[in-house]
């Protein structure tokens, strides 16, 4: 049984899940979950990239800016370890972004 489940069971037995300290504890336990942290990190990068695109800058500049912002936090090493554990997140988007044939202007007939 995970520590989150044990603490949640304890709070439920004491009817403390709706109290302020119970809600703070549950929120903290949820934020400590690795999957949620990974999702938040990737979502932050995508959000900054999207905002950059809407401001007329490139997606790449927005992604780079998000990476710089994350790297200056106290959790930079933890973020790197969590994201590196799942390279499939980026393997799917890289070919589409950089090898999209529609984005290049060339003609096979000219050769």
Give the pLDDT means over successive 10-residue stretches in the chain (111 positions).
Answer: 80 87 82 74 88 90 89 88 72 55 51 50
pLDDT of residue 55: 94
Query: Other CB atoms closer than 10 Å to residue 41's CB: what's the count?
Result: 19
| 95 plus 57 within the same structural domain | yes
pLDDT of residue 88: 66
Give the integer Cα–Cα distance in Å for 53 and 18: 41
Residue 89 domain boundaries: 34-100
What's the whole-model pTM score? 0.52
> Do 52 and 58 touch, CB atoms closer than 8 A?
yes
Whether residue 15 is contained in a domain is answered as yes
pLDDT of residue 21: 86
Whether residue 109 is contained in a domain is answered as no
pLDDT of residue 1: 57
pLDDT of residue 24: 85
| 70 plus 40 within the same structural domain | yes
| 21 plus 73 within the same structural domain | no
Number of domains in the chain: 2
| 96 plus 64 within the same structural domain | yes
């Amino acid at each position: 049984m995970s520590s989150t489940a044990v603490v949640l069971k304890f709070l439920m037995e004491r009817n403390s899940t709706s109290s302020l300290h119970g809600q703070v504890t549950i929120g903290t336990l949820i934020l400590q979950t690795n999957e949620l942290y990974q999702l938040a990190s990737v979502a932050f990068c995508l959000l900054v990239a999207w905002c950059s695109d809407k401001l007329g800058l490139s997606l790449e500049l927005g992604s780079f800016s998000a990476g710089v912002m994350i790297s200056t936090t106290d959790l930079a090493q933890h973020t790197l370890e969590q994201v590196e554990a799942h390279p499939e997140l980026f393997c799917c988007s890289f070919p589409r972004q950089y090898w999209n044939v529609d984005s290049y202007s060339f003609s096979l007939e000219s050769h």
